[in-house]
Structure 1
Amino acid sequence: MELLILSTLLLVGSHVVPGLPGVRSSLVAALGRPVFLTAYSAVSLAALALLVRSYAAAGVDAWLYVPPAGVKVFTVAAMSAALFLLVGRLTTPARTAEPAGIYRITAVPGSLSVLLWALLHLASLGEARQVVVFAGMGAIAQFSLGRNWHAAGSARRRAGIVPFAGILLGRERLAWSEIGWARPLLAVVLWVALLLLHPVVIGPDPLAYL
């Protein structure tokens, strides 16, 4: 377990430290952008590989808490929302003068998607090694969310962080034509695919909770 905790901290550090104010720009200036990106990717991949190995080596560990069945069912259902945010982020240009599509719903759809994914898994998994890993993932997502919110312009911030908050408060409007039906449909397809492949690729079967 000690190695798992250290590898999780290493993974968090590999994402957080280069993103601290002034650190990234200093490293880019000292190393050059190509070298910095190569080194950053190599360290992140190495930390992730160490995390995977240490997680497997930890084996089945003690449970810190036992989530009720209702929480597991909610997690399965709510993952569709996380995937919708992710699909919207990957298919919508972010750097435009006026927010469009998913950016009218929330200013930080990508990092919010990952944070929601981590929090949902934390709520529905109580084994110690699982809690360590998803707490680390949540910390990375939280840092990314804060950084992206800080970098967003005033126009994007009208939407707020919580989905639909800006729309409900009258600061932003919902333009469904900018989202369309293809994105929600793709999110549903990915959700179903993950449910079916989860026991094959990862292990636990989410469908067992339904």
Structure 2
Amino acid sequence: MELLILSTLLLIGSHVVPGLPGVRSSLVAALGRTAFLTAYSAVSLATLALLVRSYAAADMGAWLYVPPAEARVFTVVAMPVALFLLVGRLTTPARTADPAGIYRITAVPGSLGVLLWTLLHLASLGEARQVVVFAGMAAIALFSLARNWHAAGPARRRAGILPFAGILLGRERLEWGEIGWARPLLAIVLWAALLLLHPVVIGPDPLAYL
């Protein structure tokens, strides 16, 4: 378990430290943007590989808490929301003068989607090694959310962080034509595929709790 905790901390550090404004600009100036991105990707992959190996080697360990069945059902039902935010982020240009599509719903769709994904897993899992890994991922996602929010311009911040907050407060408007039906349908397809592949690739069967 000690190696798993250490590798989780290394993974957090590999994402947080290079992402700090002063550190990032200094590294880019010293190495160049291409070399910095290459080194950043290599370190991130190396720490991720170490995390996977240390997770597999860690003992099952004690359960820190036992999630109720309702929490596991809620995780399965709510997961399409996280996937929709991620699909919207990956298929919508971020660097535009005015926010469009998913950026009218929330100013930080990608990091919010990852944060929601990790929190849903923490709500439905309770084994020590699982909590360590997903808590680390949640820390990375939270840092990314704060960084992206800080970097967002005033126009994008109108949407707020929580989905539909800016729309409900009248600061932003929903333009469904900018989102379309393809993105939510793709999120549903991904959700169904993950449910079917989860017991084959990862182990636990989420459908067992429905």
Query: What TM-score bracket applies, with the shorter chain setting the length?
Result: over 0.9
Structure 2 matches for 1:30-179, cutoff 5 A?
A: 30-179=30-179
Equivalent-residue separation in structure 2 for 1:38 and 1:94 (angstroms)? 22
Q: Percent same amino acid at aligned positions?
A: 88
Q: CA deviation at 1:70?
A: 0.2
Equivalent-residue separation in structure 2 for 1:42 and 1:98 (angstroms)? 34
What is the identity, as a one-letter code, of the residue corresponding to 2:125? L
Equivalent-residue separation in structure 2 for 1:11 and 1:139 (angstroms)? 10
Equivalent-residue separation in structure 2 for 1:33 and 1:98 (angstroms)? 26
- TM-score (normalizing by structure 2): 0.99
Which residue number corresponds to residue 200 of structure 1?
200
Which residue number corresponds to residue 5 of structure 2?
5
Equivalent-residue separation in structure 1 for 2:182 and 2:41 (angstroms)? 32
SS of residue in 1 equivalent to 2:21: coil
Structure 2 unaligned segments of length 5 or more: list them.
Answer: none
Structure 1 unaligned segments of length 5 or more: list them.
Answer: none
Equivalent-residue separation in structure 2 for 1:52 and 1:37 (angstroms)? 22
Q: Moved runs in structure 1, 4+ residues, more than 6 A?
A: none
Q: CA deviation at 1:39?
A: 1.1
Q: CA deviation at 1:59?
A: 2.8
Of residues 30-39 and 151-160 in structure 1, the stretch that sits farther from structure 2 once superposed is 30-39
What is the identity, as a one-letter code, of the residue corresponding to 2:10? L
Query: Number of paired residues?
Result: 210
Equivalent-residue separation in structure 1 for 2:193 and 2:155 (angstroms)? 35
- Alpha-carbon deviations, 1:78-108, whole Å to 9, x = none? 1000000001001111111111110000000
SS of residue in 2 equivalent to 1:167: helix
SS of residue in 2 equivalent to 1:22: helix
Which residue number corresponds to residue 184 of structure 2?
184
Q: CA deviation at 1:33?
A: 1.6
- Alpha-carbon deviations, 1:46-93, whole Å to 9, x = none? 100000000010031110000000000000011000000001001111
Equivalent-residue separation in structure 2 for 1:157 and 1:61 (angstroms)? 43
Q: CA deviation at 1:35?
A: 1.6
SS of residue in 1 equivalent to 2:10: helix
Equivalent-residue separation in structure 2 for 1:36 and 1:171 (angstroms)? 38
Equivalent-residue separation in structure 2 for 1:36 and 1:79 (angstroms)? 34
What is the identity, as a one-letter code, of the residue corresponding to 2:43? V
Equivalent-residue separation in structure 2 for 1:48 and 1:206 (angstroms)? 24
